[in-house]
Structure 1
C-alpha cells in the first residue's frame, strides 16, 4: 500500500468501486435487488479494501454479499460468472474516470446495514462435490498426500473438499498452514518458484508421503510433486499437469459414450501444444485463446483504458462460447498452473485442481501407474513435448519497440504495402506460420491473414517452425509484460526423441538471445 496513482490505496479502491457500481447499475437488470459478491483474502489491507468496495455498492442501494477468503487485487466477474472482457472492461474503465470524486464511506457502520449479507459457501462445495467420480475408491487408497496452502487461504476449503471426496486427510505443512501476509517461510509465495516446496518436501519425506499438493496464497493456482522410485521428488510443470488433466477428462468423456466431435478443451496460446496434438489424434476440438496479464494495480484503470481483469478471462469466455456452439468443455488451463474444471465454475481454482489430481492419481495407482509413468505413456503415444520459458529484462520501452520492429521487418525485407517480413528460420527449422497479435497478421489464415484471436495491447508474436519431415517442431511465443519490464518467451519443442528435443531447445534459446533479440547489443538482462 502506497500513495499515488500507480499504487493500491484506499482512494484507488473507492474510485474503482464507485465506477464499477455505476456501470453495474446501468448495465445489469435488477442489480439493486440481485446484489454483488465481494470477497478478500488475508493479505495486508485486503479486508479493509473489500469493505470499502462493499460500502461503495451499499451506498448506492446495491446489496453486497460479503465472503471472507477469496482473491485479492480487484478481479471483476460479470453475471456469467466469468472475468470481464470487452465491452465491459472498457465500459468500466470509462465509468471509473467519470466517478473520480470519492464519496464519504463509513465502513464502521457497515455491519449494521441490512444490505450487507453473508455469502453462502454451500454452492461452492456443491460444485466441488460434482467433480468427484470415485468416492469409494478414494476412501480405500493407501496413498499419502502432503498439502501446503503457502501461508494462504486454502486449508479450510481443502480439508472439507478431501472429506467430500472421501479421501484420507492430507498431512499439512504446519508452518505454512495458516494465513500469514508476511509469508515468512518462502522468498516468494508461488509454488512454481525454486525452493517454494522445500518445507513440503521435508514434511513429505518425514511422513512417507507419495504426493505433494500445493495451492498459491489466494488458492486459484495448483502445483504438484511426486516421489519417484529413487526417492527424488518430481515437480510437474503447469503444462505437464495440463496434459495429465486433459487425458483424464478425455477418458471420462470416452467412457460416457458421447461423440468426441462434441468435446472441446481450451488452453492459452502460450501453453503447450500437446493437447492440440491429442485433439488431432483423438478427434475432439482444441481451442487456444489469448493469454492475459495478471493485473496487480488498479491505478492505470482510473487513467486510461486497460482490461480490469486478466489471466483466465479469455479461457473462461472461450469455454462459454464453445458451449453456446454445442460443445462440452470439461477442461481449460494456462501454463502458469491455472486449471478450470466442469461447467459450473469458469475460472482457475486451486482447490478443485488439487482434488482432481488427487482422485486421478488414486485411479492411476489402481491401474499400477503413477502420474509420471502415465505422462511418459502419453509422450510415447502423442509425441514428446518439452517447454523452456523465460524472459529478458529491458527497462527501456523504446528499445523493446525497436526489437519487435526488427522482427516484423527482418533484415529490411518487409513487403510493399506494409506486409511484415519475419525471420524465415528458427533453430535450423523452417518457420511455417507467424501470428502477430499486435499488428493483426496471421500467415496461416489466408486469404484475409487476420488472426482469429483478439489483438494484444502489447507486443505479442507467435512463431511455428518444423523440419521438412515434420518430425521436430518448435512453437515460440514472445511478448511484452504489462506489469514488468520484461520480454517474455514461451518456447516448446516436440518430437519423438526427448534428447533431440532438449538439444533443439537449447539451440533456439541461444539464437533467440544472440540473433533475434540481440541481447548484448541492447543490454538485455537475464534472470
Structure 2
C-alpha cells in the first residue's frame, strides 16, 4: 500500500471499482437489482477501501451487499451464491506481509474471475479512471446498501457447514482437544462457531494471536504455511495443555495449516499436499459410507499439487481432474464437472487451500478446519493419528514425496533462452508449423525416460490424441510439465510477480526412502541439465 498508479491506494481502488461496476452492469443481467457483495478484513485501510468500492457501485445505482463487520474471505463467494448476486469484491491481502493489501474479484458464479472477464474488467478500468466521486460515507447514507448479516446469510453459511458433519455424537463425547490460532486475523469467531455447529469441544486459543491485529506483532510473516516460525506460539500453547493437534488459519481464514505432536514429542507440520491427501481420503470414505457411487464423484487439484488424488481416483474409480494453479481455476473446473453430472466432493492446492463439499467453490479454511477436526476424532477413536492415517494411505496408494523450490533469475531474456532450449534443443530447427521450431524436449531426465510432456506456453501435450492440452494455454508465462517412467511428475514455470523459475516435483514410490532417493536424481537434473543453473548464473534456493 503506497502512493502511485501501480500500488494499492484509495485512488487505484476507486478506479478499479468504477471499471468493475461498469463492466458488471454491462455483462450481468439485472446486475443493479441483484447487487454486488463487498467484504473486508482487518488490514490497514481495508475499511476505507471497502467503503470506496461500495460507493462506486452505489453511484451507478447498483445494490451493494456490504459487510460492515470483518468477515473471512469465503463469505463473499458464499453470499454471491446465496443471494444470487452479480459479483463480489473482498478486500484482503490474505497471508501476505502487513504492508500489503489486495482486491479479490468474484463473478456471478461465485468463483474468482478468469478470462475473458479479467481482461474485460482491466479494459473497463482504463476507460473509467477519472473519479466519479470520493464518498466514504455513502455506505451509511444509501438505501441501496444492505448488510447481508441482516439477511441471515452468515447463519445460512453455518447451517450448510453443519450439514457436513456426520459424527456429531462422537464429537460431543470426545476427549480429543485442539489448539487454534487465527494468526492475528479474522478467523477466531468463525472457527469457534464452526466447532460449535459440529458439536466439537471448544478449542484452546493462542491468546496472543486471537484478535485481529494488522501489525501481526508475534509473527514475522503471517503465513501458517511458513512452518515452525509462524506456529511457535501455537506449539508452546499445545505443549502447555498437553494437546496433540494444532489448527491454524491464515489472516483471512481461507487457508488451513495443521500440525500434530508425535509420540517422540516432535511436531509434524503437514504440507498442503499431505493435508490434501488426508482430507481427500476422508471425503471419499464418508461418501462411500453414505452409499454414493464412485463413478459419480469427482475431485480437483491444481497441476502443481500432489498427484495423490489422481492415483487414488485410478484405484477407487472416481473422476480426478487437474486445473491451472489457483482456486479461480479449481472452482471454475469444479462447476464444469458439476454441469457434466459429477458431484465434486473435494478440491485443493498445495498452498494449504482446500474446499470440502459444496458450500463454496473457493478455498475455505473454516469449513476445512471443522471437517478435519471431526475426522481426527474418528481417527483417534480408531487408535490412529493423522500422521499414521497418512502413512496408511501411502501404503495403499504409494509413497508420495515432493521437492518444490526455485531459481532466482532477474534476466527475462535469459529465462526465455532457458525455456527455448528445453523446448527446441541447443540448436533450434525452424519449421512452418504453429510452434515455429522443431520440438526437441529431452527424452530422459535424471536417467529416467520421459513418458509425456505438456507445454502450456505453446499449447502442446504429447499425451492427448491431437497433442492439444485440455488446460488453458497462455503464451505470457512459461509452464512445462514432464512425466517420467519412474512415476515422477514435475512442473517448471515462471512466476508472474517475482524473478523466479519455480519447480514442483513429486514421485510416487514403493517406499519413502526409495522415493526420496529417486526424486533427488530428478531434482539434480532439473537444476544441472534443464536450468543449467551454474552456467547461467542462477541463484538456486532451498525448498520453500
TM-score (norm 1): 0.93
Greater shift in the superposed pair: 91-100 or 406-415: 406-415
Give the secondary-structure state (helix, strand or coil) at the position aligned to 2:259. strand
**Is residue 142 of structure 1 aligned with residue 175 of structure 2?**
yes
Distance 1:42 1:392 in 2: 34
Question: 512-521 vs 349-358, which deviates more?
Answer: 512-521
**Given the alignment of the two structures, is residue 205 of structure 1 paired with residue 239 of structure 2, yes or no?**
yes
Which structure is higher in RCO with an 8 Å CA cutoff and minimum separation 6?
Answer: 1
Find the aligned partners of 2:245 and 2:16 in 1 and give their Cα distance: 42
Q: Distance between the aligned counterparts of 1:419 and 1:373, measured in 2?
A: 49
Match of 1:168 among 186, 195, 201: 201
Q: Distance in 2 between matches of 1:149 and 1:249?
A: 25
Matched, 1:410 2:444: no
Paired residue for 1:454? 472
| Alpha-carbon shift at residue 344 of structure 1 (Å) | 2.7
Residues 109 and 90 of structure 1, relative CA distance in 2, 3 Å threshold: closer
Q: Deviations over 1:323-355 (max 9, x none)?
A: 110101010000110001112311000111111
Deviates more, 1:327-336 or 1:389-398: 389-398
Contact 1:462 1:475 in 2 (8 A): yes
| TM superposition shift of 1:413 | 5.9
- Out of 302, 305, 311, the position equivalent to 1:271 is 305
Contact 1:408 1:414 in 2 (8 A): no
Identify the match of residue 423 of structure 1 among 424, 442, 459: 442
- Counterpart of 2:253 in 1: which secondary structure? coil
Confirm or deny that 1:186 pairs with 2:253.
no
Q: Write out per-residue CA displacement over residues 361-391 of structure 1, whole angstroms, 9 at most, x where no aligned residue.
A: 1011111111111111111111110111111
Q: Is 1:115 equivalent to 2:149 in the alignment? A: no
Shift of 1:495: 0.9
Deviations 1:474-521 (A, max 9, x none): 111010111111111101011102111111222222221122111122
1:376-525 correspondence runs (5 A): 376-412=391-427, 416=431, 417=433, 418-446=437-465, 448-456=466-474, 457-466=476-485, 472-525=486-539
Structure 1 position 419, deviation (Å): 3.7
Length, aligned pairs only: 502
Query: In the aligned structure 2, how far is the partner of 1:108 from the partner of 1:89?
Result: 29
| Partner Cα distance (2:119, 2:428) in 1 | 37
**Structure 1: which 5+ runs fail to align?**
292-310, 467-471
Q: Secondary structure at the match of 1:477?
A: strand
Residue 317 of structure 1: which of 332, 335, 341 is its match? Answer: 332
SS of match in other structure, 1:411: coil
Asked whether the equivalents of residues 473 and 495 of structure 1 are also in contact (C-alpha less than 8 Å), the reply is yes
Specify whether residues 413 and 405 from structure 1 end up closer, same or farther in structure 2 by C-alpha distance, changes over 3 A only: closer
- Give the aligned partner of residue 246 of structure 1: 280
Check the 8 A contact 1:289/1:318 in 2, yes or no. yes
**Secondary structure of the residue that 2:65 maps to in structure 1?**
strand
Map of 1:295 onto structure 2: none
Tell me the distance in 2 between the aligned counterparts of 1:35 and 1:60. 11
Residues 77-96 of structure 1: pairs in structure 2 closer than 5 A: 77-96=106-125
3-state secondary structure, aligned to 1:520? coil
Aligned partners of 2:503, 2:429: CA distance in 1, in Å?
23
Q: Indicate if the aligned counterparts of 2:428 and 2:438 stay in contact, CA closer than 8 A.
A: no
Q: Which residue of 1 aligns with 2:128?
A: 99
Distance 2:137 2:467 in 1: 57
**Range that drifts further, 153-162 or 509-518:** 509-518
Report deviation, 1:222. 0.5
C-alpha deviation, 1:414, in angstroms: 5.3
Looking at structure 1, the residues matched to 181 and 352 of structure 2 have their Cα atoms a distance apart, in angstroms, of 15
- In structure 2, the residue matched to 1:2 is 2
Task: Provide the C-alpha distance between the structure 1 equivalents of 2:104 and 2:449, rounded to a whole number of angstroms.
Answer: 41
**Other-structure match for 1:154:** 187
2:89 aligned partner: none
Mapped partners of 2:365, 2:20: distance in 1: 27
Instruction: Give deviations 1:8-47, integer Å, cap 9, x for gaps.
Output: 1111111110010001111112211111110010111111
Q: Which moved more, 1:247-256 or 1:428-437?
A: 247-256
Change (3 A) 1:223 1:414: farther
Give the Cα separation in 2 of the matches to 1:109 and 1:23: 21
- Separation of aligned partners in 2, 1:253 and 1:159: 26
Deviates more, 1:516-525 or 1:34-43: 516-525
Preserved contact between residue 442 and residue 450 of structure 1 (Cα < 8 Å): yes
C-alpha distance in structure 2 between counterparts of 1:414 and 1:321, whole Å: 39
**Residue aligning to 1:69:** 71
Deviation at 1:145, TM superposition (A): 0.2
- Secondary structure at the residue paired with 1:76? strand
Match of 1:305 in 2: none
Distance 2:514 2:5 in 1: 50
In the alignment, the residues of structure 1 paired with residue 11 and residue 106 of structure 2 have an alpha-carbon distance, to the nearest angstrom, of: 21
Unaligned 5+ segments in structure 2 are 74-91, 93-101
Determine if contact 1:23/1:91 at 8 Å carries over to the other structure: yes
Counterpart in 2 of 1:17?
A: 17
Name the structure 2 match of 1:355: 370
Who is 2:348 aligned against? 333
Q: What is the correspondence of 1:36-51 to structure 2 with a 5 Å cutoff?
A: 36-51=36-51
1:229 aligns with 2:250: no
Q: Map Cα deviations across residues 239-259 of structure 1 (whole Å, 9 max, x no partner).
A: 111011111111112122222
